[in-house]
Amino acid sequence: MTECPAPIQGHCDPRFAGVRAAFEANFRERDELGAAVAVRIGSETVVDLWGGWADAGRTRPWERDTLVNVWSTTKGPAALCAHVLADRGLLDLEAPVAAYWPEFAAAGKGSLPVRYLLSHRAGLAGLREPHRVAELYDWELTTARLAAAEPWWEPGTRSGYHALTYGFLIGEVIRRITGLLPGEFLRQEVTGPLGIDFTIGLPEKEDGRAAELIGPRAERPAGEQAAAGLKFTPVALAALGNPVVGAAEANSREWRDAELPALNGHGTARAIAELYGILARRGLADDRRVLSTEATERAREGQGSCRDLVLGEALGRDTEVALGVWLSGAHGSYGPNPRAVGHDGFGGSCGLADPEAELSLGYVMNRMGPHIVDDPRKMALVEAAYAAL
């Protein structure tokens, strides 16, 4: 066996030596460049490893506090904000969105409940009219277009992954209730008080800590790059390609300045494990209660298994979304417990929560892989973590 070609640092409980071995194997065998992984059991961090390089030129080692854009792994913390408000009695997940955001009632959406926003069942997976990247950075414009939009399908009947729109939809409800964009609400109510190193967007003063994202290798087979035959139906094109965003955008200062609660969370693996750990510990973060036990159970309630209208053809299987996270299900995306939950990010990152095992896991990296979900690097780490239990 060849030696791991990247410096690995941090600590790993001997019981979880298999996680370290899998992490090292990701560098040797799975094209890892720079990455970090953290595993928590209850309130104890049993794995906190990082290694490799924070840039394509391999001039900056990945450090303990290196931050990276985690794409859709951001959706879990964004949904957490809504669950905090619901737990406080300020948001009713069964109430119409229009009760908080009156303009949303346009195009027959007056009775659409908040729950559908959290579960990708609102029918607003993408905008029909062209939406440029610069317009994605304009909160008022994007939310106004979504408020006026007609659903692609009858809300509540199917799920269709709201890749880009998710954060604007639930985020505007949060803003209407609190007066704060979700990133600021998360900072004031969760990450700030708990000292969790995670932000939606990234302040310019933190640029020196940010890893450079690198897109999937161009020489990968075309079929693999196309994610195993994703059929670009009109709704899939709108959801995933209006606008097209990738590593170049995510490395820009304009992206980091924007409020994109579905896409531009920046953090460490440790922070992801801590945030998803709130669900794993049924509402606790260390000795503080962030959510009631009932709220965490509600967040994990499956909303019905189906073939997703955006991702289903590529995945080739049914999936089940809960309220802001996805269920592991029979496929085992988040380990062998079908009621474990998590969220993958574009290119490979992941947050996972399993309350039955009191396990949470965060994985972040800068070389993006081609898989829509279940990146082999992530799956190797998840399997190793469960093997240690």
- Residues linked to residue 318 through DSSP beta bridges, in sequence order: none
Residue for token digits 């905008």? 127
Q: Which residues contact 359 (CB under 8 A, 6 or more apart)?
A: 39, 40, 41, 280, 335, 340, 352, 353, 385, 386, 389
Could you tell me if 364 and 35 are in contact, meaning their C-beta atoms sit under 8 angstroms apart? Answer: yes
For 97, phi then psi, to 5°, come to -55, -35
Residue for token digits 């062209």? 130
CA distance 206 to 365: 17
Q: Which helix (H) or strand (E) holds 288?
A: strand 288-289
Could you tell me if 279 and 305 are in contact, meaning their C-beta atoms sit under 8 angstroms apart? Answer: no
CA distance 100 to 41: 38
Cα first-last separation, the chain: 26
Could you tell me if 367 and 54 are in contact, meaning their C-beta atoms sit under 8 angstroms apart? Answer: no
For 153, phi then psi, to 5°, come to -145, 170
Catalytic residue among 43, 72, 305, 349: 72
For 306, phi then psi, to 5°, come to -160, 170
Q: Measured at the alpha carbon of residue 171, what is the angle toward residues 237 and 196, in degrees to the nearest 5? A: 110
333 is annotated as an active-site residue: no
Token pair for residue 135?
Answer: 């317009």
Q: What does the DSSP assignment read for 310-360?
A: TTHHHHTS-B-B-SSSEE-TTTTBTBS-TT-EEEE-TTS-EEEEETTTTEE
* Catalytic annotation, residues: 72
